[in-house]
Structure 1
């Protein structure tokens, strides 16, 4: 479909380079904060963050809990 990217997602709007930079900085800050707590982002988290940076999803969509992020690791017991 016209206007869609290779993933089939349509950007919400075109953002300026300055806004893209702010989004990238915010994601980098969050990544560092999570790392300081001893955690790391999953591949799905990284992809989700990149969609926000690329303006494929809004801030409101970005901060909503995702079903794939709500599953706890299976216990090894």
Structure 2
């Protein structure tokens, strides 16, 4: 498929420093909001957020639920 990179991601796009700052601020806000609820982002969530900040994925791709994030941990009982 033309225009797609590895793993179906869009090729790395160049964004302005202002846009990168807006994306970083949005992720920081979300991270703080989640933290106030008593949760923290997993390593996979942090990597996913960084892909958004780096313009490797769009906002639409960033906010879509990921299959790995929907898997519940197995009960230890």
TM-score by length of 1: 0.85
Mapped contact 1:52–1:59 kept (Cα < 8 A): yes
Deviation (angstroms), 1:11: 3.4
How many residues matched?
A: 77
Mapped contact 1:12–1:58 kept (Cα < 8 A): no
**Larger relative helix fraction:** 2
Runs of 4+ in 1 over 3 A off after TM superposition: 1-12
Deviation (angstroms), 1:14: 1.2
Deviation (angstroms), 1:76: 1.4
Unpaired segments of 5 or more residues in structure 2? none
Going from structure 1 to structure 2, the CA distance change for 1:66 and 1:12 (only over 3 Å counts) comes to same
| CA deviation profile, 1:31-72 (whole Å, cap 9, x unmatched) | 000000000000000000000000000000001110100001
Unpaired segments of 5 or more residues in structure 1? none
Question: RMSD over aligned Cα, in angstroms?
Answer: 2.9
